[in-house]
Each structure stands twice: as C-alpha cells, then as structure tokens.
C-alpha cells in the first residue's frame, strides 16, 4: 500500500482534496472516480518532489499530530481490538475515519508495518516523534500479556487525564497572562505616545517640576529613545537563557529555582509529583517491569531535580531496596507520596496507591491554580490602576502648582 495526496473536483464542481491509500496509482484514481471525484493532481506521498527546508518545516507544523489525535485514536483502537477485530483491520478502519493528515499518514505506515509481520509495538517504534516511550512500552506489555485492549484503554485514560489537567491549568492562566500583556502595552503606549505630548506644555514653565513629574518625564524619554535597545536586550537575555536551560547544569539549576519560588514553586512541584505517580501507576498496572517503568518515568516527569532522584532510586532498587526508601531519602518528594508508596509496596497495591496519589495531587493542583488566579486577577487590576493613577498624578501636580501660583 502507498499513500497518495490528491486534489480535484466533485460532480457538483466543488474543489476537494485529501489523502488515500492504494496499491497503485491506477487503483487510487479508480477509487476516487468511483467516489465521484474528478482528479486534477495526484502524487504518491513517498515520492513527492523535494521541498525546501522551509516548506518542510511549514508542512510539519500544519500536519503535526496533536495529543488529542493520539488519545482519540487510542480510545477507538481499544474499542475495535476489544471487539475481536484483527489489528490490521482495526488500523484500516481508523485510517478511514481519521481527519488529521499527520495521524492518517502515521496510521497507514503503522498498518503496513504490522501487515508485513512486525509487532504493533515495533511498528510504533518507527514513529517515536509521535508515540513516546511510555506508549510503546505499554503497548508491548499488552501484546505480550494478550490484553492489548485493556492496555489501550488505560493509555487513553492516562492521556485524557494529562490533557485535562494541562487544559485546566492553561485555561486558568490565560486571563492573567492576557491581562498582564495588555497592561504592559497600555503602559508603554501611555509612556511613549501620550505622556510626551502632555508634558511638552511644561517646557516653558520657569519653575522646578515636582519629583514625580521629573521621574515620569525621564522614564518616558528613555523609553521613547531606547525602546529598540530594550527589545534587543530582552531578546538576547531570552536567547541565552534558553541555551543555558538546554545544558545539563543549567536545566538542573533552573528547575531547582522553579521549585523554590513562592506559590508557583509549590504548584510546579505538585504537577511533577502528579505526573510521576500517574505515569508509574499506569505503567505498573499494565505489566511493565518496575525498573523499566522507573526509567520511562524519569524521561516523562520533566523535572531535572526529580529525574536525578529517580535515577538514584533505580540504582538502589536494582540493589534490592524498596521504591519508597530512596525517594524519601532524597527529600525532593513530599512525605505523603513516599508514605503511600511504602504502604502500597507492603500491601501489594502499589499501582492503586500511585493512581490515588496522582488523583489527589491533580485535584490539589486544580484548586491551587484556581486560588492563585482568583488572587492574581484583582491584584493585577489594582497594580495597573496604581500605575495609571501615578502617571495621571505626575501630570496633574504641575498643573495644580500653576493654578496655585495664579491665585
């Protein structure tokens, strides 16, 4: 099977385009003709003309596979496999109903690899940019245990939970972020455009201006003359900080600073702990060995400080230690999570305890973010009001002095 990109016209004269798989170019044209499509152009996906790097990057951006696409595909595949439909047929059905071009292309390639005798997990390994190691290892354990449909359901629930948490946190922070940038734009406009015109009337005054007015004029003059320099410095600082963050030492230091920040540090730590517990619990419940699970979690937690602690814990677990002991000794993980892990290890319910811990921390994150935004919104409005009020006061002070002199 090969993939073909096509464009043409329907019987009603409307333009149409899409992607389809067929064993040959002739078969692809016949399929489209049977669907009432008059083909104008059709090219094989793998033999498309070479494009520039810019074109490829733009195409990759628009054809990228989103987390929602993978989640929906996983949920639908679990239903089909659970209904005893062969894997190749299930993937073919998914290909027909998937709308995302990137996901459609990936499903077709995975299906062809499985049809050629490759295992589902090995076929997914060829697309690590889309399917993370966690996904591939859980699928592999599902194939080995014969419970692929159950593992796919757990995977779908895991990704839905991660997407739900990310969406709630992102949605809660949208308004404060937008308000902050709008406030900055308004202030810059006032200081660079409005204030210079208003204070120009003070040039002919033969008296010393009040200190707030002189400060305002100085800030306004500086921003009007050196705004480009500020932008250059800001961009340079951002660029060098990003480069510093990519180094091992810089990433470790950056995450340690984030964890120590007031308010935000607590939320960031809770998110990392929730991700650790949810991922480890999902992997263990799917039959992935403990050492492999911890190695996967290390790459998923997205926190260099915790990643180092997990790496040390792996070494101790391999030497016969429990999971809870090295985590507790690190001092990075909260006592409640280490106690729950220790209890789960003793009672043989480690997976359930980790999932419960993840749920508790995710709910705590949602509550903390909601509380933070409820404080930030009025606080930012008050700060904005004080800054605008200070500008107005600095402008009015000389006028009030002039009126006093006239009297």
Closest CA to 324 of 357, 296, 302: 357
Question: Distance between CA 157 and CA 282 in Å, rounded?
Answer: 9
CATH number for the domain including 365?
A: 1.20.81.30
In a domain, 271, yes or no: yes
In a domain, 224, yes or no: yes
In a domain, 56, yes or no: no
Of 95, 130, 160, the domain-final residue: 160
Answer whether 98's CB lies under 8 Å from 257's CB: no
In a domain, 288, yes or no: yes
Of 139, 160, 181, the domain-final residue: 160
Q: Is there a single domain that holds both residue 261 and residue 126?
A: no
Against a cut of 0.85, is the pTM above it? no
Please give the pLDDT value at position 58.
42
Q: Is there a single domain that holds both residue 105 and residue 217?
A: no
How confident is the prediction along the chain (407 residues), in pLDDT tens digits per residue?
566 677 777 777 777 766 666 667 777 777 777 777 777 777 776 533 434 444 444 444 445 788 888 888 898 998 898 888 888 889 888 888 888 888 888 888 888 888 888 889 899 998 888 888 888 888 888 888 788 888 888 888 888 888 888 888 888 778 888 888 888 888 888 888 878 877 777 766 666 778 888 888 888 888 888 888 888 999 999 999 999 988 989 999 999 999 998 888 888 899 899 889 988 988 888 888 899 889 888 888 888 999 999 999 999 999 888 899 999 988 889 999 999 999 999 998 999 999 999 989 988 988 888 888 888 888 888 888 888 888 888 888 877 776 665 55
Q: Is there a single domain that holds both residue 143 and residue 283?
A: no
- Starting at the edge strand found earlier in the chain, the sheet holding 2-10 runs 15-22, 2-10, 37-44
Please give the pLDDT value at position 391.
85
Q: Is there a single domain that holds both residue 107 and residue 177?
A: no
Answer whether 289's CB lies under 8 Å from 338's CB: no
In a domain, 55, yes or no: no
Q: Is there a single domain that holds both residue 206 and residue 331?
A: yes
Cβ neighbors of 309 (< 8 A, separation 6 or more) are 326, 327, 330, 332, 333
Q: Is there a single domain that holds both residue 256 and residue 397?
A: yes
Q: Is there a single domain that holds both residue 330 and residue 345?
A: yes
Q: Where would I find the H helices in 286-334?
A: 290-300, 304-318, 324-330
Q: Is there a single domain that holds both residue 171 and residue 154?
A: no
CATH number for the domain including 6?
A: 3.10.20
Q: Is there a single domain that holds both residue 13 and residue 105?
A: no
Please give the pLDDT value at position 57.
47
Q: Is there a single domain that holds both residue 356 and residue 236?
A: yes
Of 144, 160, 176, the domain-final residue: 160
How many Å separate Cα 164 from the centre of its chain?
12
Number of structural domains found in the chain: 3
Please give the pLDDT value at position 49.
40
In a domain, 87, yes or no: yes
User: Which domain range does residue 156 map to?
Assistant: 67-160
Q: Is there a single domain that holds both residue 192 and residue 261?
A: yes
Please give the pLDDT value at position 402.
66
Q: Is there a single domain that holds both residue 224 and residue 281?
A: yes
In a domain, 61, yes or no: no
In a domain, 110, yes or no: yes
């Amino acid at each position: 099977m090969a993939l073909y990109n096509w464009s043409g016209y329907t019987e009603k004269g409307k333009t149409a385009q899409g992607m389809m798989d067929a064993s040959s170019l002739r078969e692809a044209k016949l399929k489209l003709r049977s669907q009432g499509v008059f083909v104008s152009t059709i090219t094989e996906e793998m033999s498309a003309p070479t494009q520039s790097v810019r074109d490829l990057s733009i195409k990759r951006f628009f054809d990228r596979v989103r987390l929602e696409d993978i989640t929906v595909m996983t949920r639908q595949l679990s239903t089909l496999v659970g209904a005893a439909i062969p894997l190749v047929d299930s993937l073919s059905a998914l290909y027909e109903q998937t709308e995302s071009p990137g996901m459609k292309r990936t499903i077709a390639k995975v299906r062809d690899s499985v049809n050629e005798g490759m295992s589902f997990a090995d076929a997914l390994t060829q697309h690590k940019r889309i399917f993370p190691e966690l996904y591939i290892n859980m699928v592999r354990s599902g194939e080995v245990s014969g419970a692929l449909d159950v593992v796919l359901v757990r995977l779908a629930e895991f990704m839905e939970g991660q997407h739900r948490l990310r969406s709630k946190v992102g949605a809660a922070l949208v308004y404060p972020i937008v308000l902050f940038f709008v406030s900055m734009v308004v202030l810059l406009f006032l200081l660079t455009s409005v204030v210079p015109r208003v204070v120009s009337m003070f040039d002919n005054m033969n008296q010393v201006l009040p200190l707030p007015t002189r400060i305002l004029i100085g800030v306004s003059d500086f921003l009007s003359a050196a705004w480009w320099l500020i932008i250059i410095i800001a961009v340079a600082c951002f660029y060098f900080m990003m480069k510093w963050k990519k180094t091992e030492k810089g990433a470790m230091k950056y995450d340690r600073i984030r964890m120590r920040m007031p308010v935000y540090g607590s939320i960031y730590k809770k998110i990392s702990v929730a991700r650790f517990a949810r991922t480890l619990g999902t992997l263990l419940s799917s039959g992935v060995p403990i050492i492999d699970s911890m190695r996967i979690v290390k790459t998923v937690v997205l926190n260099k400080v915790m990643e180092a602690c997990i790496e040390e814990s792996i070494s101790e677990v391999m030497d016969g230690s429990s999971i809870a002991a090295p985590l507790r000794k690190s001092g990075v993980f909260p006592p409640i999570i280490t106690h729950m892990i220790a209890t789960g290890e003793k009672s043989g319910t480690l997976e359930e305890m980790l999932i419960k811990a993840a749920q508790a921390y995710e709910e705590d994150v949602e509550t903390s973010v909601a509380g933070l935004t409820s404080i930030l919104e009025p606080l930012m409005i008050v700060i904005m009001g004080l800054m605008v009020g200070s500008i107005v006061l600095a402008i009015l002070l000389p006028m009030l002095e002039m009126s006093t002199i006239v009297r």
